[in-house]
Amino acid sequence: MSKQRVLVMNGQRVLQSEEAGKWKNDNVDKAGSIKPGIYPLYLSKGPDKTTAYNGAIIHADKESIYQQVGKQIFKHNRQSFDKLPEVGSEKNISYDQASGKALIADAEKQARKLSR
């Protein structure tokens, strides 16, 4: 499989694949709430199913849902979802321990504490 990454700039989300050392654009669409940057999908890790993941859905393909949590990208198995989260949305993904199914909720906004 070729390396893939998502490039976000100017409100656009571009899926790129590496071929012979050069990145080529595969698909372009709206970025939604994804912050501008380069997201290397090929460095993503599988989720620990006992943990909840809070972050932006940056890409979805035939096999996986990719979510950015902090500086890490997690690759959730598409088969775990009854309903797929929308790319560009902020979601909280956790797993039902009995069935292994992914549970989706709106992401919890991080409350900022003010200090003097």
Which residues, in sequence order, are bridge partners of residue 84? none
| Share above pLDDT 90 across residues of the chain, in percent, rounded to a whole number | 88
Please check whether residue 12 is in contact with residue 30, taking contact to mean a CB–CB distance below 8 angstroms: yes
Query: Any idea which residue has 């950015």 for tokens?
Result: 68
Listed by start position, the domains of the chain span: 4-106
User: pLDDT tens-digit profile of 76-99?
Assistant: 999 999 999 999 999 999 999 999
Is the pTM here over 0.85, yes or no?
A: yes
**4-106 in CATH: which number?**
2.40.50.140
Average pLDDT over residues 56-73: 96
User: pLDDT tens-digit profile of 44-59?
Assistant: 999 999 999 999 999 9
Helices and strands, number each (H, E), in the chain: 0, 9
User: pLDDT tens-digit profile of 34-45?
Assistant: 999 999 999 999
Please check whether residue 59 is in contact with residue 31, taking contact to mean a CB–CB distance below 8 angstroms: no
Q: Is the predicted pLDDT of residue 116 greater than 90, yes or no?
A: no
